[in-house]
Amino acid sequence: MTTKEPLALPFPMPTSERIRAAYWNLYLSENGTDAQKGRLGDATLLPRPWDIATCIDPDLRRDVWEWYEDVVTWFNHEYVWDPAAGLIPPCWPQHPHLIHDIGVLADQRRIIATATNSNSLEEWHRYSLPAFLERLHDRTRQHCDDHHQPWPTKARYARHQAEARNRYILIDQDLAVGAEKAAPPVVPALRLIDKDTGRPIDPGTGEVR
């Protein structure tokens, strides 16, 4: 038997300069000098390649999508023998839950690829991989074995969105009650009144104002 491919394919590390720059900026946000941290600004606003929703720049976002695609292709080749056991479906970009999972799985495997021992890879095999496969099975089941199926909870989600106004009314009522309870009690102010004129009397001088 002959083969034109290696028997085991290497993990596809991100080769995009934009992705590498994003990871480098995240590293500097924790380990850089004060000047470097100052140039980066608010670290919470930096793009995180494992969470594509934070990648606002279109070019970076495209690079991250392509990296995810490479990771999914690699994963299905290296870790799936029985399709029923956990094949990532080709329609994965239409599943937000898979997008989030794939991003984290790819990032963790990227970190492992730079390790100097096998401990972290063993943990990935023992914990991260089985947990991912379990979530994959529970969330997609057999809905997308051959063709992508419509979102089963789409109607309920639409109802959830349609009733947003009612929820905000309840929230506003709760905030009003909370503000009412938090307000300091009103202490009535006592005033001296001249019985003949009905005008207030200055308690310091006794003069009728």
CA 118 to chain centre: 29
Most confident of 108-122, 144-158, 164-178, 192-206: 108-122
Structural domain containing residue 56: 17-143
DSSP class per residue in 82-108: SGGGTPPPTTGGG-HHHHHHHHHHHHH
Determine, yes or no, domain membership for 203: no
Q: Which residue has the tokens 């914990």?
A: 127
pTM: 0.72
Mean pLDDT of the chain: 85
User: Hunting for tokens 């401990």 — which residue is that?
Assistant: 119
Note whether residue 82 is domain-resident. yes
Is 79 within the bounds of a domain?
A: yes
Asked if residue 97 belongs to a domain, the reply is yes
Asked whether residue 84 is domain-assigned, the answer is yes
Does 81 reside within a domain?
Answer: yes
The total number of structural domains that make up the chain = 1
Q: Which residue pairs, CB below 8 angstroms and at least 24 apart, start in 190-194?
A: none
Name the token pair of 160. 């959830």
Is residue 201 helix, strand or coil?
Answer: strand
Residue 9 or 156, more confident: 9
Q: Let me know if residue 63 belongs to a domain.
A: yes
